[in-house]
Amino acid sequence: MSATTNPDPEQGAPAFIPLEANPELMTKLIHKLGVSQALQLHDVYSLTDPDMLAFIPRPALALLLVFPITAVYESHRMAEDNTVDEYKGAGEQEPVIWWKQTIRNACGMMGLLHAVSNGPARTLIEQGTTLDELLQKSTPLPPRERASLLEKTPAVAAAHKEAASAGDTAAPDAQDNVDLHYVCFVKGSDGALWELDGRRKGPIRRGELQENEDMLSERALGMGILRFLEREGGDLRFSAVALAGSLD
């Protein structure tokens, strides 16, 4: 099948235990991979209530949406993907770094990788760590080769397995069919809002942001998650997690 009609990893591909949308576990995972202790993941309990949003440190550098894959979503994804070619970008000139997902049930890890490897968060990856080395090796490569490199980085798989096995709920098997999926929204080096999803054909530029607008700003939410949820017809089975912390 083509990438358009079947974007998921093929049978026999490496598999991860699905990652629970648990900010505490996610924070431990990114720290283990090499992200500074200054950054943490936070539950977003409301996307529209200013009082609830006030609990999250700013700026919010990335926003992860966890949602069920529905027929409505798949129809929109396929229609949008049919209008573009497979992304082949590589190198430091890219406004965002994006990995194709070739590991089964790894969308949580892909979301976290996209969150911490783009925008200002990238400057808070400590030198010599697993993530630092992965980024140095991945950046010059096109997406498919990046994906192959990720498959062959055992430190990432080990850290993911430790986090995924420690959730509040019983972890499903790595080969299970799981209908929950992660999408990441970040601000690229070009100042635009980008949607990053390893199941898609490439990174998706959603619109321009002002210099002072982060991922929880009204404009970013309107072009990103809120528009995304509007397409789903008000389906409330989703959760959101923000990457935030001190940039000093």
Q: Which residues are catalytic?
A: 107, 181
DSSP 8-state code for residue 101: -
Concatenated DSSP letters of the chain: --TTT--SPPTT--B-PPPP--HHHHHHHHHHHTB-TTEEEEEE--SS-HHHHTTS-SSEEEEEEEEE--HHHHHHHHHHHTTSPPP---STT-SS------SBT-HHHHHHHHHHTSGGGGGGBPTTSHHHHHHHHHTTS-HHHHHHHHHT-HHHHHHHHHHHTTSSSPPPPTTS---EEEEEEEE-TTSEEEEE-TTSSS-EEEEE--TT--TTSHHHHHHTHHHHHHHTTS----EEEEEEE---
d(CA 15, CA 61): 28
